């Protein structure tokens, strides 16, 4: 049962650190690629600069790049994996770059759709969005159970999500407003915001960027 009060919970959404494919601006979704050495060092630098808040609970994508990022930022802290918070399945475009794809008719059609149609052999924006919201809902149910078990009462909590850029974009577009691409982030960046309920509907309030040096 979700029993949090208004302004009781702050959500911290963090995009994972840089991987080799990220560096070369390739579509990276279902491939379980770890962080690059450069990506690890940048996250460490951000941690040294106290770019991320202390949190009470953590949820993460099951992908290595997110789990490694979580451990760099919150070493040894307990967390829960939410499988549906994986990145988009890019299908045939996986680990390919815009330059490699720009002359291919299916890719041109995808670009002309504003990224809405399904990737060949992959997910559509709509299907991805539904999966992300289901995963976030699962995390909130789990959070409510943890809050009840820990008897947190009215204590103000911070809850981190070590996830992917697409997850953060989908959540903010759904729960705060605007367009999906309004929320593009660099690796290791994210948002801190307040979780609110209006009736039975989840809302995000007052998002501010974090992880920016």
User: pLDDT of the chain along its 213 residues, tens only?
Assistant: 465 565 589 999 999 999 999 999 999 999 999 999 999 999 999 999 999 999 999 999 999 999 999 999 999 999 999 999 999 999 999 999 999 999 999 899 999 998 899 888 999 999 999 999 999 999 999 999 999 999 988 889 999 999 999 999 999 999 999 999 999 999 999 999 999 987 778 999 999 999 998
Burial of 112 from C-beta contacts in 10 A (0-12 / 13-18 / 19+): exposed
Which residue matches tokens 């911290």? 12
Report long-range pairs for 147-156 (Cβ below 8 Å, ≥24 apart).
147/3, 147/4, 148/1, 148/3, 152/56, 154/5, 154/8, 155/8, 156/7, 156/8, 156/9, 156/10
Q: What is the pLDDT of residue 200?
A: 79
Domains and CATH numbers, the chain: 9-89+124-210 (3.40.50.1240)
Total-model pTM: 0.95
- The pLDDT, as a whole number, for residue 154 is 82
Strand partners, 60: 81, 162
């Amino acid at each position: 049962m979700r029993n949090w009060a208004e302004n009781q919970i702050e959500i911290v959404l963090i995009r994972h650190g840089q991987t080799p494919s990220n560096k070369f601006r390739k579509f990276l979704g279902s491939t379980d690629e770890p962080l690059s050495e450069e990506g690890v060092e940048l996250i460490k630098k951000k941690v040294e600069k106290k770019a991320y808040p202390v949190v009470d609970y953590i949820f993460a994508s099951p992908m290595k790049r997110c789990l490694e990022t979580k451990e760099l930022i919150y070493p040894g802290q307990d967390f829960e994996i939410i499988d549906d918070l994986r990145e988009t399945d890019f299908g045939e475009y996986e680990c390919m770059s815009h330059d490699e794809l720009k002359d291919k008719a299916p890719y041109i059609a995808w670009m002309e759709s504003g990224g809405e149609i399904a990737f060949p052999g992959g997910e559509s924006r709509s299907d991805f969005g539904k999966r992300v919201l289901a995963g976030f809902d699962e995390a909130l149910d789990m959070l409510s159970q943890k809050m009840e078990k820990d008897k947190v009462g009215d204590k103000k909590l911070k809850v981190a999500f070590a996830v992917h850029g697409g997850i953060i974009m989908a959540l903010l577009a759904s729960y705060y407003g605007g367009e999906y691409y309004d929320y593009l982030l660099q690796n290791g960046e994210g948002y801190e915001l307040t979780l609110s309920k209006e009736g039975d509907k989840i809302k995000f309030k007052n998002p501010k960027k974090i992880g920016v040096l």
